[in-house]
Amino acid sequence: MNSKTADPLDGRIVAMALGDMATRFSIEVIESCASTSSVLLDRAMPDQPSGSVVVCEQQTAGRGRRGRSWLSAPGDSLTFSLLWRFPSGMLPPAGLSLAAGVAAARALEGMGAAGVRLKWPNDILAEGAKLGGILVETVSHGGRHIAVIGIGINVRLPKEIADAVDVEAGALASVMPYEPSRNFLLANLLKALADMLDEFGRTGFAGFVEAWLARNAHAGQRVSILAEDADPIEGRCAGVDSDGALLLDTATGMRRIVSGEVSLRPR
Ligand code: ATP
């Protein structure tokens, strides 16, 4: 279904749904762009206030990790990015993409979505299918770390996207008791992200470990860690560390896997 006319993105509705929190964001709705994160990253950093949001109806070159693509469809997807400045003196925000996953899961659960799970390091799943992806990119400027958090959600899943991706894709609407409005979904995600970012500034990812583990899609399961230039590493998913590294229980002992260049696959 293309619900472009039924559920158009509208910054005023998002601001209304944000209520008191609307003052923390400046929301720009654009019809088409290559990538909402690229729009924010391309702008002059000193001029871009914390809380800048770009949400786009048609993202033509959405990015995942390692140059992979994030596919979306006008009307059926929500694709947006949020720029956030951390307080000066703070260490690089390790584990931020996992904490963003916790924030996204809390927002979706708050709207009634069932069975939301997180796949290390950056996927949002439900019923074993990937319904959202998160890409966190960081830069520093004037001694402060700036994060651009990009999120793509399949609100509904058109067949052309399901067929085009190499994973089992899912849709938010199929795990909710009602058809979600993208404007309210965006407002709820932004509220949850702002709450998360405030807390992250105080605790880092350590404050989110428990919440992440409670939603770990592969808790205790046998998994393989795939890297492009190395043999797979096999082990049991034993959780995550306080910096977001995956803890893998292998035949040779516990190993810490840092996200950058690897993918987790169930065995
Ligand atoms: P993994 O950790 O599972 O290897 P990744 O983290 O490298 O994935 P992402 O950055 O999350 O990948 O996103 C890109 C990947 O997501 C694509 O390679 C494709 O498999 C999948 N994908 C792209 N668009 C969608 C979509 N709309 N819904 C579900 N999956 C998608």
Query: pLDDT digits over 241-250, tens only?
Result: 999 999 999 9
| 24 classed as catalytic | no
The full set of domain ranges for the chain reads 3-213, 222-266
- Residue owning tokens 């990538």: 35
| Phi, psi angle pair for 138, to nearest 5° | -125, 145
Q: Of 12, 66, 222, 265, which is the active-site residue?
A: 265
Beta-carbon-side half-sphere exposure of residue 77 (alpha carbons within 13 Å)? 31
Cβ neighbours for 160, distance < 8 A, ≥ 6 positions apart = 73
Annotation marks residue 119 as catalytic: no
Q: Of the ranges 129-133, 170-174, 188-192, 200-204, which one carries the lowest mean pLDDT score?
A: 200-204
Q: Do domains 3-213 and 222-266 have the same CATH topology?
A: no
Q: Residue 43: what are its φ and ψ, rounded to 5°?
A: -75, 155
Residues 6+ positions from 225 with CB-CB distance below 8 Å: 232, 233, 234, 235, 246, 248, 257, 262, 263, 264, 265
Q: Per residue in 75-96, pLDDT tens? A: 999 999 999 999 888 888 999 9
Q: Which CATH code, of 3.30.1180.20, 3.20.20.10, 1.10.10.10, 2.30.30.100, is assigned to 222-266? A: 2.30.30.100
**What's the chain's length in residues?**
267
Coil, strand or helix at 159: helix
Q: Is 4 a catalytic residue?
A: no
Residue with CA at minimum distance from ligand 1 atom 16: 70
Question: Tell me, what's the pLDDT at 2?
Answer: 46
Residue 166 CB–ligand 1 contact under 6 Å: yes
Q: What atom in ligand 1 is closest to the CA of residue 154?
A: 27
Across residues 162-182, what is the average pLDDT? 97
pTM: 0.96
> Is residue 163 helix, strand or coil?
helix
Per-residue H/E/C for 196-208 = HHHHHHHHHHHHH
Query: Is 167 a pocket residue for ligand 1 (Cβ < 6 Å)?
Result: yes
Query: Which residues face 126 on adjacent strands?
Result: 116, 129
Confidence check: pLDDT of 131 > 90: yes
Residue 71 Cβ contacting ligand 1 at under 6 Å: yes
Is the shortest distance between the CB of 31 and ligand 1 below 6 Å?
Answer: no
The region, left, alpha or beta by phi > 0 then psi within -120 to 50, assigned to residue 59 is beta
> Mean per-residue pLDDT for 110-129?
97
Q: Report the pLDDT value the prediction gives residue 6, as an integer from 0 to 100.
A: 77
134 within ligand 1 shell (Cβ under 6 A)? no
Predicted confidence (pLDDT) at residue 184 exceeds the cutoff of 70: yes
Is a pLDDT exceeding 90 seen at residue 211? yes
pLDDT higher than 60, residue 105:
yes
In the three-class reduction of DSSP (H, G, I as helix; E, B as strand; rest coil), residue 189 is classed as helix
Annotated catalytic residue within 130, 144, 236, 255:
130
Compute the half-sphere exposure of residue 55: CA atoms within 13 Å on the CB side of its CA: 27
Decide if pLDDT at 149 tops 90: yes
Q: Which of 63, 65, 119, 182 is catalytic?
A: 65
**Atom 5 (ligand 1) nearest CA:** 65
Tokens found for residue 4: 């472009």
70 lines ligand 1 (CB under 6 A): yes
Residue 66 CA to residue 141 CA, distance in Å, equals 24
Q: What is the mean pLDDT of residues 13-28?
A: 98
- Assigned CATH for 3-213: 3.30.930.10
List, for residues 215-230, the tens digit of each pLDDT value.
999 999 999 999 988 8
